């Protein structure tokens, strides 16, 4: 299988030895995306805005890799406070519809830049 790097200016640039996304065959894997605005470099303060920005970043990478939202197979969500789970769930439901991707959500002790959420996903390219 050929591995291809996915880069988009619609998501924050990778700041370490990793790629925003990788395409392997028909699968696209994203890195863990934190809620950094790719234009300003700023992190929103409100949790609701952090959730939306992290999801926007993941969707931008998947889209660049040829994955429509309906083809997102799996999502992993990392929260620094599991009490934000219900808020995340409500906003997450705005981004995906039935059948929803498989999902894991865990609480972690800390995330880069002091953000409260990180999201990664796996999708399948649209076949034509």
The structural domains of the chain, with segments of one domain joined by +, span: 3-124
Other Cβ atoms less than 10 A from the Cβ of 12: the count is 23
Average pLDDT (44-50) is 98
pLDDT at 127: 77
pLDDT at 30: 98
Portion of the chain with pLDDT greater than 70, in percent: 99
pLDDT tens for each residue of 58-75: 999 999 999 999 999 999
Average pLDDT (83-104) is 97
pLDDT at 128: 61
Lowest mean pLDDT among 2-6, 69-73, 110-114, 120-124: 2-6
Q: How far is 111 from 114, CA to CA, in rounded Å?
A: 6
CATH of domain 3-124: 3.30.1330.40
CB 53 within 8 A of CB 45: no
Q: Which of 97, 100, 105 is nearest to 54 (CA)?
A: 105
Q: How far is 126 from 105, CA to CA, in rounded Å?
A: 26
Report the predicted TM-score, pTM, of the whole model to 2 decimal places: 0.96
Q: How far is 27 from 30, CA to CA, in rounded Å?
A: 10
């Amino acid at each position: 299988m050929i591995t291809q790097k996915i880069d988009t200016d619609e998501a924050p640039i990778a700041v370490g030895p990793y790629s925003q996304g990788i395409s392997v065959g028909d699968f696209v894997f994203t890195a863990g995306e934190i809620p950094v605005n790719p234009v300003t470099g700023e992190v929103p303060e409100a949790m609701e805005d952090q959730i939306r920005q992290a999801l926007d970043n993941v969707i931008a990478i998947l889209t660049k890799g040829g994955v429509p939202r309906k083809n997102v197979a799996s999502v992993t969500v990392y929260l620094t406070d599991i009490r934000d789970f219900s808020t995340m769930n409500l906003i997450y439901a705005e981004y995906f519809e039935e059948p929803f991707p498989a999902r894991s959500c865990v609480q972690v002790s800390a995330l880069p830049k002091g953000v409260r959420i990180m999201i990664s996903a796996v999708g399948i390219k649209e076949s034509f």
